[in-house]
Amino acid sequence: MSELRRPIESGVPESTQFMHPVLRENYGRWAWHDRPRPGVLRHVSDTGVAMFTVKAGTQRQMDVYTIRKLADIADEFCDGYIRFTIRSAVEFMTPKEENVQPLIDRLEAEGFPVGGTGNSVGFISHTQGWLHCDIPGTDASGVVKALMDQLVDEFKNEDMPNRVKITTSCCQINCGGQGDIAINVQHTKPPVINHELVAGVCERPAVIARCPVAAIRPALVGGKPSLEVDEKKCVCCGACYPPCPPMQINDPVNSKIAIWVGGKHSSTRSKPMFHKLVAAGIPNNAPRWPEAAEVVRKILGAYKADARAWERMGEWIERIGWPRFFELTELPFTKYHVDNWRGGRANLNTSAHLHF
């Protein structure tokens, strides 16, 4: 066997080598932009040069044939350059305005919806799920596909009050991040422990330390060192499962879907916000998740009909108040919506401001 090769520790490559020459020449010289139509951006530099961007949706988990097809399109219309966004949309850039419509037509013909710009529902950011993750409660790719099939018109148009960023996550770690709407797994039962395996697989002090509510204790079960969970204390978060796979948290029935709203990463207008729980107990109903999709549809419908221009989901709710939100969306309000944990008083209404 040949000698092992030492890695070239090159870090991230330089970006400009992968940029269209017009981007390279106008780097840092862009003057303004607009959107000639949904799915298309036009950036104009101080030299008067315009660069058109056509944005399209993908399935994110792509086979090489899909990627090569995208490359073919980029070769034909964009001089061989292509870019992806942080939410896995694909962007084709060309300085030739006459290329824009044929590019859109080609993308649509190949099954890549054009949109996701301005005040639209963008592509749903998502995680790996059953395809690859070691702890998933669901399959984000499937949830996203099922939802985007329903929301594709909102992706292709800019009819929302502001942009809507939807995220999905396959467990409560929430790799999908904050969202105007977040569709996340919420476990409802404590982990089921395989005591035969714990001692051999888990570093027990590390697992005990991982629990946010100190519900895990060392125990001797059937003569073997293991762990036990105080089920009264357990919040079913699943934090013990990654470091200790014999503490199985995923359950086909009791791992549910919860929906959160009003998360926002940006500091635009309001400060960044965390998303807030509005619905839980939704079945993890693969392969199309119709119950979760129905809740999302209701929330989006209420937001679209009621929010003012440029209000993000969380800003809209802050203006109309939570009583009105639950009224408009017809979602039940329960004790589980009330933050009862550390710092929870910050989420109570400590004022005489009331909505009727």
Q: Which of 195, 210, 304, 337 binds another protein (CB under 8 A)?
A: 210
Q: Which of 48, 63, 223, 351 binds another protein (CB under 8 A)?
A: 63
Q: CA–CA separation, 41 vs 46, rounded Å?
A: 17
Q: Which of 152, 219, 277, 280 binds another protein (CB under 8 A)?
A: 152
Is 297 near another protein (CB under 8 A)?
no
Is 132 near another protein (CB under 8 A)?
yes
Q: CA of 121: how far to CAs of 127, 163, 293, in Å?
A: 18, 6, 14
3-state secondary structure 120-173: CECCCECCCHHHCCCCCCCCHHHHHHHHHHHHHHHHHCCCCCCCECEEEECCCC
Q: Where does this chain touch another protein (CB under 8 A) — which range of 22-30, 94-102, 294-302, 321-329?
A: 22-30
Is 43 near another protein (CB under 8 A)?
yes
Is residue 173 packed enough to be buried (19+ CB in 10 Å), middle (13-18) or exposed (0-12)?
Answer: middle
Q: Where does this chain touch another protein (CB under 8 A) — which range of 189-197, 217-225, 263-271, 326-334?
A: 263-271
Is 270 near another protein (CB under 8 A)?
yes
Nearest to 292 by CA among 183, 132, 169, 172: 183
Residues 218-247 that bind another protein (CB under 8 A): 237, 239, 245
The tokens describing 311, both together, are 């209000």
**Contact code string over 78-107 relative to another protein, x by CB under 8 A:** --xxxxxxx-x-x--x--------------
Is 209 near another protein (CB under 8 A)?
yes
Task: Tell me whether residue 306 or residue 330 sits nearer to another protein (CB atom).
Answer: 306
Q: Which of 48, 98, 109, 134 binds another protein (CB under 8 A)?
A: 134
Task: Tell me whether residue 61 or residue 157 sits nearer to another protein (CB atom).
Answer: 61
Is 11 near another protein (CB under 8 A)?
yes
Task: Tell me whether residue 34 or residue 231 sits nearer to another protein (CB atom).
Answer: 34
Q: Which residues pair with 227 in a beta bridge?
A: 218
Q: How far is the CB of 5 from another protein (least distance, A)?
A: 5
Concatenating the DSSP letter of every residue in 304-335 gives: HHHPPTT--HHHHHHHH-HHHHHHHHT----G
Q: Burial code of 106-139, b = ≥16 C-beta within 10 A, e = fewer?
A: bbeeeebbbbbbbbbbbbbbbbbbeeebebbbbb
Is 148 near another protein (CB under 8 A)?
yes
Residues 314-333 that bind another protein (CB under 8 A): none
Q: CA–CA separation, 205 vs 217, rounded Å?
A: 9
- As a residue count, the chain comes to 356
